[in-house]
Structure 1
Amino acid sequence: MTGLRPIQAVVFDAAGTLIRTREPVGATYGRMARAYGAEVPASRLDEAFGRIFAAAPPNVHPGETLADSAELERRWWRARVRETFRAADGMAAFSDFDAFFDRLWDHYACAEAWELMPGAREALDELVERRLMLAVLSNFDQRLRPLLRQLGIHHLFEAVTLPSDAGAAKPARQIFDVCLKRLGIANHRCVYVGDRAEEDLASSRTAGLHPIDVRQLATLAELPALVEALEKELA
């Protein structure tokens, strides 16, 4: 078919690409843990969290209802948080770990814990002005949609695709195909913006999308020009 734009959509990863935590994870974990009697240095929690998160199985639960999947996602995170504290300090003792985790879970469900990446709003507005479809494809749990609403950007996206929707998580091709089916465009007419070499960039390339490494940009405000250059190259 002739007359189609080479690039019709820009799809974003979420955490680390479009949004980021307002403070390091270790600082938040450590500060909240102190209220429950556990004293662990933020630097050790940061290091432990990175190792635990990288080695964890995907937080995806095929065949479950959205409600059941949401509960399983929460249990997945509880296990990762518990493992993080054990790895950082095996002697750390909580007066009430469940109460601590409830507070931590709720904290990361709120916009107060997050902020847009530098240049994100400018990039999104310019891409919309250029009549490109926007979407989010992330391994985030079901807290992401309300979080994007709180951050004031949910309305800019044609679709938000999560493991609970697709029954699969990155790097599986299935989640990319579900996202692009929702948008109604071919994979090769889509850019994927991410920050992880394998989970985002390699997997999106394998799925037929055009990956862009957000780490190569000074800010996301540079993204529209990069997409425009790619369109010209593919025309």
Structure 2
Amino acid sequence: MEAARAKLTRVLSRIFINNVNDKAQRAMRSGSSFDGLAKYSTSAAAVVKDYEDYRKSLYGDITHKALLVDAVGTLVAPSQPMAQIYRQMGEKYGVEYSEDEILRRYRWAYGQPWGRSRLRYVNDGRPFWQYIVSSSTGCSDTQYFEELYNYYTTEKAWHLCDPDAEKVFEAIKKAGVKLAVVSNFDTRLRPLLRALNCDHWFDVVAVSAEVRKSCTPPHQTHTHTLS
């Protein structure tokens, strides 16, 4: 029954959208542009209202059953520029590149194909991030890498994008909407969310490195600084 309703919702959505688009085109072709667009505007509003009423008849006031959010750039963000951290931590290990040079080399390295797979992060992602760090800084020191890698699992390295995020997610949850973090990330995401005390906001945390599948198409993936 639920599957049938979901399918019907998708079909009606397409019908409503096509209906609006068709009426817009007819309005633009009409002899009286103003009159045509005015009629179109009224029709479009009616279509939207019809669809909203239909959804409400199925789900009540809840318009969505679930909300999926990405981690980096949506929920959390680095507290300092990546190149700054790489340089500061790397000074005692002999890193001499400027922050601009580190950033340039980082972007180049991140843009290179990673083996035969589109998935950069598998499990803890160490092999990939070791490659990124050494390529960005010219330093292959294991201790330097581990210091960077562990730093990006702490609350010092990250902050919430919105300080009022908890209130927002609580309100969404009270409305009966399920919440999930779905992110291209390695296995440090869960301890990071715990460190920021926001892991309990979500019903599900899906990590690409754990399921071994990219959570978004490659061109939509947010690059980040977890190393």
Q: Bin the TM-score by the shorter chain.
A: 0.5 to 0.7
**What TM-score, normalized by structure 2, do the two folds share?**
0.63
- How is 1:141-220 mapped onto 2 (pairs within 5 angstroms)? 141-171=186-216, 198-199=220-221
Write the distance in 2 (CA, Å) between the matches of 1:163 and 1:198.
14
Moved over 4 A (4+): none
Please tell me whether the aligned partners of residues 121 and 185 of structure 2 are also in contact (alpha carbons under 8 angstroms): no
2:179 paired residue number: 134
Q: 1:17 aligns with which of 64, 74, 77?
A: 74
2:133 paired residue number: 81
| Matched residue type, 1:150 | A
Unaligned segments of structure 1, at least 5 residues: 62-68, 87-93, 173-195, 201-235
**Quick check: which has more Rg, 1 or 2?**
2
- Count of residue pairs brought into register by the alignment: 160
Asked which structure has the greater RCO (Cα within 8 Å, sep 6+), the reply is 1
Write the distance in 1 (CA, Å) between the matches of 2:205 and 2:169.
15
Q: Which moved more, 1:159-168 or 1:25-34?
A: 159-168
2:157 paired residue number: 113
Please tell me whether the aligned partners of residues 134 and 158 of structure 1 are also in contact (alpha carbons under 8 angstroms): yes
Unaligned segments of structure 2, at least 5 residues: 6-56, 223-227
- Identity level (%): 25
RMSD of the alignment, in Å?
A: 2.2
Please tell me whether the aligned partners of residues 60 and 168 of structure 1 are also in contact (alpha carbons under 8 angstroms): no
Displacement of 1:60: 4.1
Please tell me whether the aligned partners of residues 20 and 115 of structure 1 are also in contact (alpha carbons under 8 angstroms): yes
**Structure 1 residue 102 corresponds to structure 2 residue 146:** yes
2:10 paired residue number: none
Q: Which moved more, 1:132-141 or 1:117-126?
A: 117-126
